[in-house]
Amino acid sequence: MKISIKPDSVKWEDVREKLTARFPEYKVTTRSKAFLIVAKSGSIGTNVMIRKKNIMVVGNFPTLGGTMLFVLAVVLLGALVPIIVYMAAFQPRMRTLENEVAAYLKEAYADVVIK
């Protein structure tokens, strides 16, 4: 989900602090500058990328190991079976977390969000 904001109005350190305070049950980590990971469990998470003009919230595996395991399954088993498993088991819960985090960020940064 893409949230358009006023240019250079949001600092990634502030986003990390607000997400940590709002979601104490989730693990908020930093993968790199302006790239945060909100992990609900070892296999359900979302990426939060803070750019100059927008904030991107995308459901994804929270660990590099989980991502690599999925890519390996696609390579070894072909695309169809791993994608069906992903869509049935992981994607709905990732989408729920993505919407929850995006709704909070829209609310927390309502003054800088471009509608």
Per-residue pLDDT tens listing for the chain (115 residues): 999 999 999 999 999 999 999 999 999 999 998 999 999 999 999 999 999 999 999 999 999 999 999 999 999 999 999 999 999 999 999 999 999 999 999 999 999 988 7
Q: What is the pLDDT of residue 22?
A: 96
Cα angle 34, 36, 40; round to 5 = 170
Q: How is residue 70 written in tokens?
A: 């999925």
Residue 36: CB atoms within 10 Å: 23
Distance CA 38, CA 93 (A): 13
pLDDT at 99: 97
pTM attached to this predicted model: 0.91
> Could you give the domains of the chain?
2-108 (3.30.310)
The answer to whether the CB of 76 falls within 8 A of the CB of 27 is no
Q: What is the 3-state secondary structure (H, E, C) of 75-88?
A: HHHCCHHHHHHHHH
